[in-house]
Structure 1
Amino acid sequence: MRKLLFFLLFFPFLTLELKATHIRAGEIIARRISSDCNTNTYVFDIIGYTDTGSTVEFGGGLIDFGNGEDPIPVDTNFPIRRPLGDGVEVTIFTTEPVTFGSGTFTISFREFNRNDGVLNMSNSVETPFYIETQIKIDPNIGCNNSPILTVPPVDNAAQFLTFYHNPGAYDPDGDSLSYRLVVCKQDVGRPVANYEFPQVYDQRVFGSLARTQAGDGPSTFTLNQQNGDLIWDAPAGVGEYNVAFQVVEWRKIFGQWREIGYVTRDMQILVEETDNNPPELILPPDTCVVAGTAANPSLIQAIFSADDPDGGTVKIDAFGGPFQVEQSRATYSPSPDIYQPVVAEIEFEWNTICGHVRERPYEVTVRATDDGTFPDDHTGGVILPGEQRVLGPQHSTTGPLLSTFDTWNITVVGPAPTGLQSQVAANRTIQLNWDPYSCPNAIEMQVWRKVDSYEFTPAGCEVGIPLNSGYQLIQTLPIGTTSYLDDNAGEFLAFGANYCYRLVAIFPQPTGGVSYASDESCTIIEAEGPVITHVSINPFTTSETNGEIRISWLPPVDADVTLLPPPYTYILSRAEGFSGNDGFTPVTTTTDTTFLDQGLNTLNTIYRYQVSLYTGTQNPSTDPPAIKSATASAVRLEANELFKQIELTWEAAVPWSNQVQDYPYHYIYRDHVTADPSEIRLIDSVNVVVDGLFYLDDGRATGEELSNETEYCYYVTTSGSYGNDALPISQLLNDSQIICAQPNDNIAPCPPLRMAIANPLDCEVFLGNKPCDFADFSNTITWAKAETDTCDTDVRSYNIYYTESINGTYELLVQNVRDTFYVDINLPSLARCYRITAVDRSGNESAFSEPICNDNCPSIQFPNAITPNGDGFNDTFRPFYTDNSIDGSIANFDFANCPRFVKSIKVTIVNRWGGTVFSYESGGENSLLVDWDGTDMNGKELSAGVYYYSAEVEFIRLNPADAVKTYKGWIHVLR
C-alpha cells in the first residue's frame, strides 16, 4: 500500500510532462562493488534507449530494489548519454550503492512512457515502460554479478525478410547463460495491455501474408535458449514492435545447476519496406587458444569479413566477452567502425592471459550492417557514415540499414603442466616431481594415473584427460605443489605394473576451466612379489550357490632369491566387494599358481582376491607372509533394459588396465543367436579405448531386432595388460558372470523397508563435549531392500530425498546409491526428514519409502547477573556462550549451557516498574548473542539493580509449531 501511494503521489504531476513519446528499450545491470563476497554491496545501471525525436529525457522513473523499502526516484545527476544513430540515444544512470543480506532480490524500474505507435501492444505512448533484474545472494553461491548485454537492443528489420539479432551477452563471473522469451510488462506482474508476440500480431492482422521468408509456413518468432539468437521469420507489418526476453544465469553449486539471477531486456524492432537485402558474414571456425602469461601473452588473430549481395558498403563491428574482460581486452580494426566497399573486413586481436581461462567459450558477436543503398555505380573507397554519394537514378537512400549477426566462439584453456618425472621410491611407491605451474590463478593440480601407457595428442579444445583412456584421478593438490608420492592411498602399488601419470591444472569456479594434460611419465614397479593375472568367472556356472572363478598369478619373477628364497607357498584369500585390504578369508594354501574357487554366488556377489607368498623358510600356518600381491576383483556385468534394446556396462577393480591401446577390444556374448536359443555365442566386440566399457545391443550385430517379449542373457570377455614387456604374459583375458535382461521392462521395484537414522549418539550426548559454535552435523540413514513376490526385486540403486520441514516438499539429495546406507554430511543441523526410492536396471523408480526424520535438540540458557566493568568477563547479557568472556575461552565451561540451533531471538528488558529499557531483535548486523551492556536504548548507563527480561527464541526444528519458545527471568546488574 505504501508503494502504491508513493506512485499515486509521485506520478500525477509527471504524467502531463512525460506523456511525450520516448522510451524504446532498456535493461538493468547489477554490479557488485564490495571487495569480498561477504559484504554484498551493489550498484545498478539503469540503461534506457530513447527516441532522439522526443524532447523528454530518460530518467523520470522509480527504482525498487526489492528489499522491502519504498521505490525511489532515479538519481538523474551525471548520466552517461551517447547517440547511437538512426534516431536512437542510450542513457545510463548508476544508483547509489545498496547493501543486501542473503536472499533473492528483484530490482525493477518503471517509467512513463513508451515510444508511440508500437504495433503489438495497445496505446504504447500511454503505457509505462517496466524492466526487472533478479539477483540471488547466498554464501553458497559466491560473488554474483548480472550478465552484461553488449549489443544495443534497437534494431532494423526488412519486411518479408528473416530478421536476426543477438544481445551479445557476457557474464563477468563466467556463469552459464540461457535465454527465454517473456511478455513485455508495464508493472510488477502486469503485462502491457493487449500484448502479442510479433508473429501472433502479424498473423492476426495480415493473415496469409505473415509467412516465413521461404513461404513454407506461417511466420515464426524464436529465441535460441542456448546462444541467444533471436530470429523472426519473417515480419509482415511495417512499423515498430517491442519484445522482451530474459538472460538467465546458471551456476553449478554442490554438483547441481541452479538459476542465480536474470536480466530482462525489453527491445524494439523497426520494420521497414525495402528492396534492400542484409549483408552476409564470413567468420573463421570456432577455435581454442592456450592462455599466455602477463609477461608473455598468447595472441589470437582473426579476420571477419562481410559481403553485400546488393553491392553496397558494409560496416562490421564486434561485441562480447573479450571486449569486456578486466585485463588485456580484445580489439579490432579499423576502429571506430567505418563503412567499407565489399568485401569489407575487420581484424580481431586478443592477447590472452591466464586470467582469461574459463570453462565456457567466449562469444564474440559480430554484426555486419549495410548502408541501405544499392551503389552499383560506386567507384570504391571508404565511405564514412552519413557521407553523401551519387547514386544511379533507379536507387534510393531511404531504406533501413539492415544487419546480420553471427557468433564466433573462443575457448581459452590453461597451458599443460610441464616437467613431469616419475621414479620408483621405497616400498612400492613412486615419486612424482614437476615444474611450478605457469598460471598462478589456477587453484588445483590433479594427478591422474593408469596402468600401461596411453598415447594421445590433444585435438582442438580437448582439455584434461580423454574420457575412455583408462586414466583415474588419484589426487588433487594445491596449485603450488610440485611433488607427490604415490603409495596407492596407503595400499601400495602393484607388482609388475607399468604406472603412467599425467597432470591437469584446474581453475576456480564459477568461471572454471581445465588445462591441457601434461606429457605422460611412466615407471614400472618390478615384479618382486606375486602378480595376479586372472580373476575369471566361469560364466556357464553363474548361480547363487554353484558359481566358479578361476584365479591365476605369476610368481615373483624379479625377486631377489636371497631375500625371497624359493620354493614358494601361496595362500589365496577372498573377500566381497570391488576393493579394500580388509575382510579377506583364506580359500586355499597351494604351491600352484592357479586355483578354481567353487560354490560361489557369482549371480549377485562381487568377489576380490589377494595372494600371500611364503618363502621356503617360512611356515604358512604360523608365520606372517613374506609379501602380498595387490587385490583383484572379478568382472561385474550390468544390464539396463530399454525399448527393444539392452545396454551393457561392466567394471572390475584390478591392478592391470582393461583399457589399453594394444588390446582395445572386449567381446560380447549373447544367446538367441542360433537355432538353439539357449546357446550363447560371440555377437560383437567393443573398442573400449574409443567407446568405454559400454555396449548397446539393438539387434544390429545379429541382423534381428530385439523382442520386448524375450529375455536375453549375456557375458563379456575383457582384455587388459600390465604394460610390462618383462612379464611372461601380456594380454589378460577375463570373463564376467552371465546376466539376463528383458527389453522394455516397465515394472517398478518396491520401495525400501526398515528405514532408520543410525547416528551413534543421541543429540544431547553428541553435543555434550562440542563447542558452542559447532556446526558440522551428519545423519546416517540405513534401509533394507524389499524382496517380495508383489514387485520387481531387480534393484540397481537408490535415490535419497530430503526436506528440512516436517511438512516440506522433498528434494533430491543424491542419486544412484549402491549401498543400503548413506551418510549425509556437512549439515548445519540435524533437522532433516528423508525418503528413499529404489531404481532398477531399466531406470524404473519405486514409490517413496516411509519418511524417517531426525530433529535437533535446541537449548538456550541466560545468565542472571552481569558486571559491565570492561574486564572482559560477564560484561554483557548474552546466552551462555563458552564462559561469556570476550576472548571466548572455555575454561571450566559446561557445554550443556551452549545455545544450540537458534535461528532468531527477540529480547525485551524492563525495569522493576515495567518500563522498557532495552529491546533487541537478531538479523542483519544483529547477532544471536544480544550482548546488552546495561545501558538504555539511548546508550545511557542504567543504575545497578534488578531488571527483567523476556526472550522469544525461534529454533531450527522440523515442526514449525515447535520452533518458538518464550523465556523469562531476571538480570542483576552489578557495578
Structure 2
Amino acid sequence: MKALKFTIFTFFICLLSIFHANATHLRAGEITAKRISNTTLTYRVTLTTYTDQINGVQANEGQNFVKFYFGVTGVPLYDVKRKKKFLINASTMCNVYDTTFTFPAQGKYTITCAITNRNANTVNLPGRTDEISFFVETTIVVNGALGLNNTPVLLNIPIDTAGVGKRFIHNPGAFDADGDSLAYRLTIPKRDFGEGSGLGEFITGYKDPASLGQPLLTEDGAGASIFKIDPITGDLIWDAPGKWTTPQYQINVAFIVEEWRKGFDGKYAKIGEITRDMQIIVVETPNNRPVLTVPTQICVEAGQKVEFKVSARDKDNNNLKITTNSGVYNRDASGVNASYVFPLEAKFNPLNATQKSPAEGTFTWETNCKHVRGQAYDVLFKVEDFPGRFAVQLTDTKTVKIKVIPPRPRGLLAKNTERGTELRWQLYPDCNIQDAEIIVYRKEGCSNYIPSQCELGLPASLGFVEVARVSVKDTFFLDNKTQNGKIYSYSIVASLATSDFVSIPSVPSNEACVGSELPQLAPVMTNVSVDKTDAQAGQITVKWTRPLNFDSTSFKGPYQYKLYRATGISGGAFQLISSISTKVNKAADTVFIDKGLNTFQNGYTYKVAFLYEGDKVLAESQAASSVRLTVASDAQKVKLSWQANVPWNNDNRKHRIYREVKGKPGTFNLIAEVGVQAVNTYVYFDDGLDRFPDDGTNTIQLIIDSTYCYKVETVGAYLKLPQLGLLNNLSQVSCGSPIDNTPPCPPNLTSEEINCQTLDRKAICEASSLSNKFKWSTPLSAAGILCRKDIVKYNIYYARYKDEKPTLLASVASPETSYTHVRPLQDGFAGCYYVTAVNVLNIESAPSTMICKDNCPTVELPNTFTPNGDGKNDTFTPMTCTAFIKTISIEIYDRYGTKVYEGTGDNLSWDGKSSNGAELPSGTYYYLAKVLIQRLDKNDETPSTIKGWIELIR
C-alpha cells in the first residue's frame, strides 16, 4: 500500500483491526458504592470494567450501557450509561459506569451486573470462555446510623502479568475512606444465572491456578505450588505459575473484600463486601522479578511528618520504576483527584520515573488530627522492571501500613497546694474534633513509666485509675480528693472521636509525681557515665542515692535495689539487670558497673527501684540515660552534638569537650568548655583551636578528610536537691572528619540526538511510552582545580518548553551516572534537561550544559482501506498511534462534497459507512484532518491541516 507523506509533526498512524460487533471483551471489574445524602438512602453506584482492546474493540465501543440490579423486589434491571473510558495500556481499556439509586428502606442489598461476554482463551474456565458471561456483585448494609458510608475503592488495576516459575504478588490497593477494617478471602468467578434475573452462579469447572501447568512447585522448589490471599493485607500470592502448552496463557480469579465496622460495644459487624474478578497473564520468560524493600508498619502522632525510603533491586540489572497507590495520595484508580484525606495528601518522589537498579524513592506525608483513625492506612508500592522490548515485565508488590494516632498531651506538672493537687499542662493541639477530651489518671506511688512509641493509653498493670475527664481546651485540673502524707503520680491521655466512630486514646503524657516525702522515699539517679567505648566490651558506671531520711521503723527490711536497663536513650523495654541486697546506711551499694555493652552503637537508659520486706516496691527512681555524642562532617570543621534524657538539669552549665591527641590513642585533651543555655544548644564546632589553655594549648590544623575523635562531659544538677552537688557524665567516643566546602564541578551531560530521518516510527507507535536517556560524568578538574569526589547524588532538572525554568525532576544516588525519563506517548521527546552534582554537605554544583529535544515533523496517512470484515485493514483509523498528538480531528467527504464521517480524539475510526449506518460504495473519498502536535517551542504548537484522498475498496 502506498502512503501520502506530510512534513508536519512527529506521528505515525497505522490501522487497527476491528472485530465483529458481538466480539467478546470483558477481562476484569468490580462494583463500588457511596452514600451521598444525609437525609435519604441515596447511593452513587459505580461499575468499573477492564476490557480487551486487542480483540474486543468494537464490542466495547458498543457497550455504552449496562444493566444494574439493585436487589430490590419489584425494581427491574436498571440501564446505566458509561461515564468515561480511558486506556490503561495498549491492550486494556478502563470503562466507568455509574448512577444514583435511592433504596426504599434500611436493610442488606446485593447490587449486581452481568455483561456478555468474557474474552476468549481463559484456561482455568471451562469450554469457550468467550461464551461465558461476566458477573460481579457488591453487598451493602443500608443503615442511616452508618452515616455517609463508602465501600472500599480498589486503586490497583486488576490486570497483571506473572512469569512461569516466578512468585507472583498482586494487591488490589483497597482504601476505605471511612477507616473501616478490611478483610480478604478467595471466591470463584461467577456468570449470569439467567438473562434479566440479576442473579449469578459460580462457574462450574473453575480450576484453582495452583493446579495449572507443570511443574507445580514454588519459586524456590521447596514445596507444592500455592494460590492464596492474605486475609489481612490483601496480598494475592501465586507461588508459582506452572508452564502451559503455550508460551503465554491467561486465567481469571475472584476475591472478596469485606468491610467491617467496630461498634460502640467494641464488637465488629460486617457492613458490606465487594467481589473483584481479575485477569492474570502468565508468560514464559527468562527475566527475574525485581525485589522491593519497604519499612514495616509505621506509627506516628498526628502532626508529625512521615518520611521513609522505598528501594528496589533487579537481579538482571534492568531499569526499574516504582509506583504507588493509596487513598493518602487523594487520587482514585484512574488518577483523578479525590478527597480521601484532608487537607494535605502524601507525596512520593520520584513519581513514575524509570531508574537504574537499585532504584529508590521517598514517601512523605504531613499528618494532622483529621488523619487519626482506628485502622492503619495501607500504602501500596509496586516495582516493575524494563527487560527490553521482547521480554516480559515482572513486578513485586508490598504494602506499608501507617497508623496515625492522636498527639500525646505534653508538659504535665503537679503541685501540692492547700486546696489539693493542681495539675497543669500545655494547651492541646487544635484538632477541631467534636467529643475530644483529656482523661486524668492518678495512682499512689511513682512508677516513672515510659511508654513505647505507639502504646495507646495507660496499661492496667500500672494501677492508674481515671479521676476526671475535661475538655481538650482545658489546661488545668484540681484534684481535691488526695490524702496528706501520700505520694501520688498523675498522667493524662487525650481521647479523639475518629471518622470511623471510634474513640482512640493517645500515648500518655509524662508522669508527674507529688508528695512531701517524694525526695526521701525514692532513690535518685545521679550518674550514667560511659567509661569505655566498644562494640562488645563497652562499660558504663551507674550511680544513684539511697532513700534519704529513710524511716526504717515504718518500712521493715530486708531491703534491696533492683536496677533496670533499656537500650537507647529514650527508654522503652526495661529489663532487670541486677538485684542488690542492701542496708539503707550503706553507701557503696548505690554504684553499679555495667559491662559487656555495645556503647559504640547504642546509648542506654537506667532506673532503680527500692524494695522493702524483700519484695515490696516502695518507689522507683526516674529514668536517666547515657550521653549520646554525634560527630558529623562540616565545612573545614567537625560538628559535635549531644543529648541525654535525664531527670536532672544539664542547662545553664558548662559542658566539656575533649579531643583525642593525634598519635596517642586513648589520650584526650580538654579543648573547650561550652556554655549551654538550653537543650537545642548542645552543639560545638571544632575548628582545631584549643579554647581551654589551662591544661596546655593543643591547637591543631584540621586536615580535610582526616579523622578526629571526641568525647563530651556534661555537667548538671537537681535544682530541688542541691545537696547532691554537680553531676558529671561522659559520652561515648565518636569520630568524624572535616571536609571542603567548595561546590562540586558541574557534570558533563550527554544524550543521543534524535535523527528524524532514521527514527523507527513503527516501533514508536507500538510502544506504550517513550523515553529520553541521559548519561553524565563528573570531571576530575576544572580551571586547573581538582573537583570534589564526595558526590552523594545527582539532581536532574526538566522543563517541558524551552522558555520555561527547569524544575527538579528526580534525584539519583551516586555512583549512578545515568537517568531515563519515561514520557507519555503523546508528549514524545520534547523538553529541556540539565544535571547538577550534590556533595555530602548538600552543596549543589552549577548546572551542566542544557540539552533540549524536540519532536520530528513527519506524518504518514494511509490511502486505502478494505472494510470487508476480514479483520484486516477494516477501518480508516488515524488515531491508532497517539505519539506526540495534542489534538486531532478528521472529516471525510464523498466526491459530491457530502460529509460522510466526522470524529475527534479517540473516536477516529471510519468503517466505510454513512452517518445513518448505510454501507458506502467503493470509491475515492476526500479527507481533511486538523492536528496539533506537542513541540519544544510553544510558538510552534499551531494547528496544521492535512488534506488528501482515501480509496475505499470492497
Tell me which of the two structures has the higher relative contact order, counting C-alpha pairs closer than 8 angstroms and 6 or more residues apart.
Answer: 2
TM-score, with normalisation over the residues of structure 2?
0.48
TM-score, with normalisation over the residues of structure 1?
0.47
